[in-house]
Every structure is written in C-alpha cells, then in structure tokens.
C-alpha cells in the first residue's frame, strides 16, 4: 500500500506502464554520451604547408665542409658545417659541429655545437693560425663574438682548434677548414646580402 502512495499525485494513480518510462529515459540519458563517443571525430586540422619549416637542401660538399639551405618562417637560411676531426674526450659527449650561417637579418653567425652543456658564463677560445677568436657560450653551444672576423680568419688557414672548459677539465676540438672558402662562397651565393 505504501508503494502505491509513492506513485500517486493529487489522487491520480500512475499506471504500471508509466513506471517503466522513467527507467527507459534514465537509460537513454546514460547511453547518449557513450553513443557520442563511439562516433568518429573529425581529424584535427593540419597546419598549412607554408607554416612548416622545409628540410635542408644540399648546395654541395666541399672537401670537409657541407653547404645547405632550409626555409624558416618563409625565409631562406643558408649554412655551412663541418664536424670535429678530433674531439676532446668527454663521457657521453654528442657530436661536435662547427657551423657558419647566413640569415636574412644576420650574416656570418659562427657557432660550435659542443656535444655537452657548458658551465654558466664559460668562454671558448678558437685558434685559427695566429688569430685567437673569442666565443661566448649558451647551454650546449658557443658563438663567435665577431662573426666577420672569424670567417676572415677561417679563410686563411687549414684548421681551427676550439679550447673550452669541459665538464672535467679543458677540452680541445680541432676542425678542418679544407673546403671552407668554397662552402662559404656557396652559401653567400644562395643567400646574398641585401
């Protein structure tokens, strides 16, 4: 008798058929999100091709140097690089690379990728013949303070040696400059000064 009173409103009785409707409605509400999840979602929009950076395109190999270009933000960047012929021993050290880069707003950017993280405010000295060139550091890279002067020194000699503080003492890395002049001419032609 008590259950009958629960389903009475204003003296009206709810029929047994109506008792199942709320259960079906609740079941439909519970299953609706699952049905929505089961429907395939559209794939996320891909960024426009122009926004992606283009991969490197080789300009050529010049003895121990390689020259290439790539596109960054719609601008052509040209660079020449060589790997260290001899690298100081540092456990777990990555590749050691010397690069000269031309960007639309920056010419003769000379950098060394050290293959290890430099200590804060470390300085690197690069000897190219009689010239001793100053480089400053940031994390795993060292950058020439005077790019044009560094390029001029590289054009006159056959090798350069970078001396820097390493994780466990002094490190010396030697780079061949054979082919540098030709590689530099190739990147200058591909990215002429404006």
Q: What is the CATH number of the domain that holds 179?
A: 2.60.40.1880
12 plus 79 within the same structural domain: no
Lowest mean pLDDT among 29-43, 127-141, 172-186: 29-43
29 plus 56 within the same structural domain: no
179 plus 127 within the same structural domain: yes
Average the pLDDT over 128-144 and give the result. Answer: 97
118 plus 158 within the same structural domain: yes
- What domain range includes position 132? 52-190
CB atoms within 10 A of CB 61: 14
User: How do residues 18-65 score in pLDDT, each as one tens digit?
Assistant: 333 333 333 333 333 333 334 444 444 444 444 455 689 999 999 999
User: E strands of the chain, at which residues?
Assistant: 8-9, 12-13, 57-62, 65-72, 75-83, 97-103, 106-113, 123-128, 131-138, 141-144, 159-166, 169-176
pTM of the model: 0.71
Task: Provide the domain count of the chain.
Answer: 2
25 plus 97 within the same structural domain: no
Quick one: tokens of 42?
């559209």
Distance CA 155, CA 57 (A): 24
137 plus 62 within the same structural domain: yes
178 plus 152 within the same structural domain: yes
Q: Are 18 and 33 in contact (CB under 8 A)?
A: no
Listed in sequence order, the residues at least 6 apart from 181 whose beta carbon sits closer than 8 Å to its beta carbon are: 155
31 plus 56 within the same structural domain: no
Listed in sequence order, the residues at least 6 apart from 25 whose beta carbon sits closer than 8 Å to its beta carbon are: none
186 plus 133 within the same structural domain: yes
Average the pLDDT over 63-81 and give the result. Answer: 96
In a domain, 47, yes or no: no
């Amino acid at each position: 008798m008590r259950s009958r009173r629960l389903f009475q409103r204003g003296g009206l009785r709810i029929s047994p058929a109506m008792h199942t409707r709320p259960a079906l409605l609740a079941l439909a509400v519970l299953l609706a999100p699952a049905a929505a999840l089961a429907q395939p979602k559209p794939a996320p929009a891909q960024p426009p091709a122009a926004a992606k950076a283009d991969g490197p395109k080789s300009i050529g190999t010049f003895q121990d140097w390689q020259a290439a270009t790539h596109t960054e933000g719609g601008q052509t960047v040209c660079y020449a690089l060589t790997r260290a012929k001899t690298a100081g021993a540092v456990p777990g050290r990555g590749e050691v690379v010397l690069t000269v880069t031309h960007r639309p707003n920056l010419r003769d950017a000379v950098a060394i990728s050290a293959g290890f993280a430099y200590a804060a405010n470390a300085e690197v000295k690069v000897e190219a013949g009689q010239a001793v060139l100053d480089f400053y550091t940031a994390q795993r890279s060292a950058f020439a303070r005077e790019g044009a002067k560094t390029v001029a020194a590289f054009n006159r000699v056959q090798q350069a040696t970078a001396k820097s503080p390493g994780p466990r003492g002094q490190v010396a890395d030697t780079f061949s400059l054979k082919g540098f002049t030709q590689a530099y001419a190739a990147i200058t032609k591909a990215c002429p000064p404006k």
